[in-house]
Amino acid sequence: MYCFGTVDHGANGVSREFPGTEASVSEALADLRHLLIERGYCEEVCANALIVLGEVLNNIVEHALPEIPDAVISLNVMEAGRRLMLETCDSGRPLPPNLMQAPNQPVISDRIDDMAEGGFGWFIIHSLVEDMVYEREDGQNRLSFSVMSDATV
């Protein structure tokens, strides 16, 4: 059952808590998308934030929270100039350390049968985020990072 926390941190912040399941992550992201659009964020920053969050949250569900039925993920989104600062927190198992390393581009082959069907997630994250920080403290995982528009102007 999906429940939606609604603790707001300041006028521009968004704070949410939701169960650590794929279905709840999906709903939370759909909700966040509408909220960011409603608040008038630039389409590109929204897209980048949602793409990265999708990968980060699904990795948390897959690696930190399997077989933890009541697991909750908390998410904070804060505005800082042209950036969106994002932070996730969960009380699951430590994330595998190799997740933080920039991975190789998954195999793109001329032979369709040789093409990779996985391994895209952290490649996508590292393509869009340069400042990912992972902290493990008091039995909690905390990931913080920011996204901005692709334009360098």
Partner 1 sequence: MNIQSNAQGNILVLTINEPRIDAAGAVAFKDRIRSLVQDFDGRVVLDMDRVEFLDSSGLGALVAVMKLLGGGRRLELANCGTIVRKVLALTRMDSVFVLHESLQDAA
Which DSSP state fits 104? Answer: P
State CA 39 to chain mean position distance.
19
Instruction: Examine residue 58 and tell whether it contacts partner 1 (CB under 8 A).
Output: yes
User: Which of 68-76, 80-88, 93-101, 116-124 is the region at the interface with partner 1 (rule: CB under 8 A)?
Assistant: 116-124
Instruction: Examine residue 42 and tell whether it contacts partner 1 (CB under 8 A).
Output: no
Instruction: Examine residue 90 and tell whether it contacts partner 1 (CB under 8 A).
Output: no
Rounded alpha-carbon distances, angstroms, from residue 25 to 38, 40, 57, 97, 109: 20, 22, 7, 22, 31
**How many CA atoms lie within 13 Å of 58's alpha carbon, on the beta-carbon side?**
17
User: Which of 78-86, 93-101, 124-132, 136-144 is the region at the interface with partner 1 (rule: CB under 8 A)?
Assistant: 124-132
Instruction: Examine residue 106 and tell whether it contacts partner 1 (CB under 8 A).
Output: yes
> Using CA atoms, how far apart are residues 64 and 84, in angstroms rounded to an integer?
24
* Residue count, binding to partner 1 (CB under 8 A): 32
Q: Between 14 and 129, name the residue whose CB sits nearer to partner 1.
A: 129
For the chain, the first-to-last Cα distance in angstroms comes to 44
Instruction: Examine residue 33 and tell whether it contacts partner 1 (CB under 8 A).
Output: yes
Smallest separation, CB 67 to partner 1 (Å) = 17
Token digits of residue 10 = 């300041």
Instruction: Examine residue 99 and tell whether it contacts partner 1 (CB under 8 A).
Output: no
Of the candidates 152, 107, 153, 115, which has an alpha carbon nearest to the alpha carbon of residue 130? 152
Enumerate binding residues for partner 1 (CB under 8 A). 22-23, 25-26, 29-30, 33, 43-44, 47-48, 50-51, 54-55, 58, 61, 105-106, 108, 112-113, 115-118, 120-121, 123-124, 127-128
